[in-house]
Amino acid sequence: MLALIDTLSYGQEAIQNRIITTQSQELVLIEEVLIEAPVRDAWKAYTTAEGMMAWSAPLVEVDLRAGGSIRSLYDTNLNIGDPGTINLRIVNYVPERLLTLQAEQAESWPEVMKQDRGNLMNVIFSNPLARIRPRYFHMELVIGTFQSTGK
């Protein structure tokens, strides 16, 4: 799993960000990340405790099912479930293709995120071309109802 993380390329072409405004004036942040690894390995990096601990947080529990969760904690002196635990609810998934996560509100969130808590989701999916070439395209959509200010 560490080999997968070591292959991340942070060149300009590997990570691209953009914000789009929907017809209802919601803002959508789109991050596209290219990971040079087989889809199966990249999927395991997102959906297993071992994979997540290799790159995300030192303590992780994964219950991979619709309605399940990915729970993580950065403080190794605490336990999953203690204050500071990040809880991502698994809305749905298609193995090795799609993972939709919704964060449960934490007390430490800024007020603007608390106001929009029901609309903040991550949608992670692989590009079908990744099955032909040994590459994995990761697209993360962070969806919010932040009103566009025109700035």
Instruction: Report H helices in 56-145.
Output: 111-115
pLDDT at 129: 58
Question: pTM of the predicted model, to two decimals?
Answer: 0.75
Domain that holds residue 58: 2-147
3-class DSSP state of 78: coil
pLDDT at 97: 85
pLDDT digits (tens, 9 = 90+) for 54-108: 988 999 999 999 999 999 999 999 999 998 898 999 999 999 888 998 888 777 7
pLDDT digits (tens, 9 = 90+) for 133-143: 545 444 444 44
| CATH code (residue 114) | 3.30.530.20
How many structural domains compose the chain? 1
pLDDT at 54: 92
For residues 100 and 88, is the Cβ–Cβ distance under 8 A?
no
Distance CA(70)–CA(104), nearest Å, equals 11
